[in-house]
Amino acid sequence: MTISHKRSPVPRDLGYFMPAEWAPHRATWLSWPRNLETWPTQLERVRDVWVKMIETLAARERVHLLVNDDQTQQDVTARLKAAGAAMENVSLVKIPTVDVWMRDYGPTFVIRERQGNPLAFNDWIFNGWGGKYKAYDHDDGVAKEIARLLRLPVFEHSIVLEGGSIEVNGEGTCLTTEQCLLNKNRNPHLSRGEIEQVLKDSLGVSQIIWLGEGVVGDDTDGHIDDIARFVDATTVVCVVEAHSQDENYAPLQENLERLKGARDQGGSKLNIVTLPSPGAVIYEGSRLPASYANFYIANEVVLVPTFDDPNDPHALGVLGELFPTREVIGIHCADVVAGLGAIHCVTQQEPRVGERP
């Protein structure tokens, strides 16, 4: 007699896939900054950046902002009203968080075209970027709280993964890095092939492109969203360092060469556009992971981190040419990146599907 061990359906089995970031959004999810360990001297200036982001986004799509308590809700409401934000598009949601990294601990939304439950999401295990920060264990539960709020189907996974470690073109290709996903502090029990299968099953992709290492100072172990991003289904921007003596030069050149040799889901070469690096941004003697690639593509707008660097205008110009139908806006992030992340790290898009209000 043969015993059949039936596995649970994965997103791909049910027609789900992760859409590209430039696909229409229903909303952007953020969390209000509150952690003084992350920003011991910068917190108020960082909050000003959040107000700017929310004001900009709310003019174009809904914004859901997580806050910890009633007092914070009142304070944030006053700040946003003073900034002239479109409050009819802003909802403050009382879900406590330790920190703001919604890209990594928040839901990874997937969609499907067939009738019934067109929107769902993947809920990965978040272990504080390889167990570096035990205080962040609480934030592993944030995605489940959002699921209860939205009443969406959830695919729970037993793999450690952060949203900043994956980048898709919405057509079947995913970019990621060996430094992060093959790191022994994430899923030491899984082989490269097994991790690829999880990505294919959960994101609805058929092609995985592996890059090597990320930028210096990135405590996430080389997230893809600091080094290479899709800007359309066939085009990738890849961060490069112009100075050969810079410690980022060699790993970024290797990533560029890998992309040149890569193929997408249909076997075609990618169009590759290089994006400059800012000069070294130093805080308390350590280099920060400052990168123009940590931009966020929203409805009608692209928010790009800037660092008071001579390369800021160059980076904005490159992205402006790549997003001709969107307004490309620089957001000053020298204070934000002291917390070791920037705009893409703190945002999470919710796709617009069907007639969902």
Q: Which are the catalytic amino acids?
A: 345
Beta-strand ranges (E) seen in 169-264 are 173-177, 207-211, 228-232, 235-239
118 in Cβ contact with 23 (< 8 Å): no
Report which of 317, 305, 318, 328 is spatially closest to residue 215, judged by C-alpha positions: 305
The CA–CA distances, whole Å, from 4 to 1, 13, 213 equal 10, 18, 41
Q: At 35, list the tokens.
A: 């952690």
Give the CA count within 13 Å in the CB-facing half-sphere of 314: 14
The CA–CA distances, whole Å, from 307 to 226, 295, 342 equal 14, 13, 11
Give the separation between CA 219 and CA 236, rounded to whole angstroms. 23
